[in-house]
Structure formats: C-alpha cells, structure tokens
Amino acid sequence: MPQTPFDIQLDDLTFARAKRGNLRACEQIFRAFQQPCFSVAFRICQCRETAQEVTQEAFITAFRKIRQYRGDAPFWGWLRRVVVNHAISTIRRDTRHDTVEYRDFHEPQAPQQEKLGLAMDLEAALGVLNAQDRAVVWLHDVEGYNHKEIAELFGKTESFSKTRLSRARGRLRDLLQPRQSTATGLR
Amino acid sequence: MMTPNQPHRRTEDPLNLRSLPLAEPPRDGWADVEAALLGQARRGRLLRVGGGLLAVAASAVLAFGLLIGNPGSNTAPATSESASALAQTTTEPVPAPLREPPIESLIAMSQQLENRIRAYRSGIGDLPSNVLVYQVELQDLIVQVDEELSATPDSPELWSQRVSLLLDVTRLYENSLRRDYYRMASL
C-alpha cells in the first residue's frame, strides 16, 4: 500500500521523454500527479483557486527543471517538494490567506454519516487555522517533513516549527473536541 | 542528512489528518501548463537564433577589426593562424581579439559579467520583488544554457546566449541602481 497519494510509479521512458521536452510525456506526468499535487497545495493554501494556480506554477517549474532531476530518489518526492515550495512561497507572500472563510458543516444526520461528518469537521477546523500553522501541521503530520526541513522551507528556526506544530495541534483539538464528544455520545 | 527530494517517513498523526480525502482540482490545468511550456520553447528557439546571429555579428566585427588592424596588408583577411604567426614575428602589441579565438573572448566576457553581477549582489543585495521575477526567469534560462553547454562546451552560439543573458541580468541591477540614485536625488 502506498504511504502517500504521491507514490505513483511511471516508467523511466516517460521521464526520459519529458526531459527531452516531449509534451505528451509531460502531459502523462501531469495527469498522473495533478490530484495529489493539487491536494497538498489546497491543504496548505486552503483556497481552491490559489491551489490551482500553485499547482500549475509548480508543474511549469518542474517541467522546466526536469533535467535537474537525477533519478536517484523517487520522482514524486522531487515533485512534491516543488509544489510545497510554491505553496509556502504563496502563503508567505500573500497575507490574504491568513483570513479564511469558515464553512459550517451540518451535523451528521445518520450513524453511517458519522465518519464523513468527522472528516468534514477536520476540514473546517483546518480552515480556521492560521495559514502557517496549518502548513506546519500538514507537512509534519501528513507529509512527514521533520522540523529542520519545515524550518528551512520557511526560512526560520526549528523552534518556529515546533511552536507552530504544538499550537496548531492544540487549536485543532479544541475545535474538534465538542464534536468528537458528541460523536462518542451517540454510540 | 536527508536530501529534500527523498520521500519522507511516516510520522505520528494524532489528529488523523491523513483520513481526509484527496481534494479534487476545480478544473483540468493542462492547457495552461502546455501553453507556458510552448511559450518557453518558442523563446528558447528565438534565443538560439538570436545567439547564432550574435555569433555571426561578433565574427564579422572581429574580421573587420582584423582588416583595420592591418591597414598595410592588401591580402585577404588574416585567419587566426596567420594572426598568431604575425604576433610571433612583430614587436607591435597585437590587439586582444587577434590573440584569442571568439569563443575564448566570449568565455572571458561571461566571467567578467559574472564578477560584475556578484559585485552588484554584494553591494545592493536583492533586487526589488517586481524585478526579481525577471532575474529569476533569466537565471533559469542561464541554467538551461549551462546544461546545453555541458553537452557542447565549444558552441559559440551557446556562449553568445550566455553572455547576452548575463548582460540582461547586469542591466536589471544597473537600472535598479539608477532608480535608487534618482530616488535619493529627488529627496
């Protein structure tokens, strides 16, 4: 089972053709990785249009620099790094993303929707977080970045990453607490 | 230390953020990515043609300089071999272009420009963000030329391209300095 949705295998020939500038090979790579790339950009930026722009810019950068990819590590790791770099640059550049809309999801109406409802709560809670806190918690807990790597991405110290992670987790717990209690009470 | 391209190991996920589904992109972005890549390829071709023309022009200037430098000679324009023979037999200092083939001049020019850019960078630091975009674009093109040069290091066209791109970068710094000067002068 793949550890991450990015873990998609493509044949070496496709990469070789993309390195020579073959657009059909580039399209093949784009189609394979578009969704996981968009998804990580969306989790960091929390705005669909911005995430779409970030994804496109990241792919353009990746295809322009694909000859720098040496093949000594999985391609998806390299591509994800490009997407994350673009997303972090965007949230650092654009303070608009510090204010995000709060989407109020309905309470689950039936027991089978309970799990789905909890997922929606998570989405909403992530949306409430400060952009940098959200990026740090996502990169650390989901994408598996360590504090040193996150600090490098933001141009800050490891303490910054640790503080943000702790704050983001605390805030998420606070936001999720009442619904989790309710969900437990239903059982 | 783990390189940035390495996939990351699984870490703790106390809030179960990994349970969130992949986000769906609002639209297919391939058309925009393809357009950007095609635009880049077109610019690359123009640069190559421009570089070729520059190399031809440089050769013509050198040949002209050769004729001016030897007004007494009524023979056909000297070749580089006859020029070096001339350098050995006469005591007169020979103009620099005669001592070096054009590619050496281009390499020397490229080094001088790099030194100048380095001096600008250490002097005025980073360019303003609106200019930085162009600098990054030019640096990307220089990286592409360097990659091609690693395959064909003796290509005068590629060295010409490199020189003209470096000239563009120095102009960005010089314009920035000029703007600063006028701003200070207006105070």
Q: How far apart are CA A86 and CA A21, in angstroms?
A: 22
Q: How far apart are CA A51 and CA A44, in angstroms?
A: 8
Q: Please check whether residue A122 touches B, CB under 8 A.
A: yes
Residues A141, B20: C-beta atoms closer than 8 Å: no
B149 domain residue, yes or no = yes
Q: Domain range spanning residue B130?
A: 44-186
- Average pLDDT of chain B is 71
Considering only residues 5 to 44 of chain A, which have any Cβ-Cβ distance to chain B shorter than 8 Å? 5-7, 21, 23, 26-27, 30-31, 34-36, 38-39, 42-43
Percent of chain A with pLDDT over 90: 53
B1 domain residue, yes or no = no
What domain count does chain B have?
1
- Residue B46 is predicted with a pLDDT of 59
Q: Which residue has the higher pLDDT, B144 or A59?
A: A59
Measured between beta carbons, the chain B residues lying within 8 angstroms of A56 are: 29, 32-33, 36
Residues B14, A123: C-beta atoms closer than 8 Å: no
Domains of chain A, first to last = 1-99 (1.10.1740.10), 103-187 (1.10.10.10)
Give the minimum alpha-carbon distance from A39 to chain B in angstroms, rounded to a whole number: 5
**HEC states along A20-68?**
CCCHHHHHHHHHHHHHHHHHHHHHHHCCHHHHHHHHHHHHHHHHHCHHH
B3 domain residue, yes or no = no
Q: How far apart are CA B10 and CA B25, in angstroms?
A: 25
Residues A7, B7: C-beta atoms closer than 8 Å: yes
Q: CB contacts < 8 Å between A and B, how many?
A: 124
Q: Which of B5, B21, B22 sits opposite A81 (nearest CB)?
A: B5
Indicate the angle between helix axes A158-186 and A114-128, nearest 10 degrees. Answer: 150
B115 domain residue, yes or no = yes
Measured between beta carbons, the chain B residues lying within 8 angstroms of A7 are: 7
Q: Which residue has the higher pLDDT, B80 or A44?
A: A44
B17 domain residue, yes or no = no
User: Of the candidates A116, A57, A123, which has an alpha carbon nearest to the alpha carbon of residue A88?
Assistant: A57
Question: Residue A37 has which token pair?
Answer: 């790339």
B33 domain residue, yes or no = no
Q: Which of A6, A35, A43 sits opposite B25 (nearest CB)?
A: A35
Residues A142, B38: C-beta atoms closer than 8 Å: no
B24 domain residue, yes or no = no
pLDDT band for position A39 (cuts 50, 70, 90): very high
- Residue B87 is predicted with a pLDDT of 42
Task: Give per-residue pLDDT as tens, B65-112.
Answer: 545 555 444 444 444 444 444 344 444 444 444 445 578 888 888 888
B20 domain residue, yes or no = no
- Residue B126 is predicted with a pLDDT of 72
Q: Which of A49, A144, A149 sits opposite B10 (nearest CB)?
A: A144
| Chain A residue closest in CA terms to B34 | A23
Q: Which residue has the higher pLDDT, A159 or B146?
A: A159
C-beta separation of A103 from A123 below 8 A: yes
pLDDT band for position A156 (cuts 50, 70, 90): very high
- Residue B62 is predicted with a pLDDT of 56
| Chain B residue closest in CA terms to A79 | B5
- Residue B54 is predicted with a pLDDT of 63
pLDDT of A118 over the 80 cut: no
Mutate to test the interface with A, among B2, B3, B5 (most CBs of A within 10 A): B5
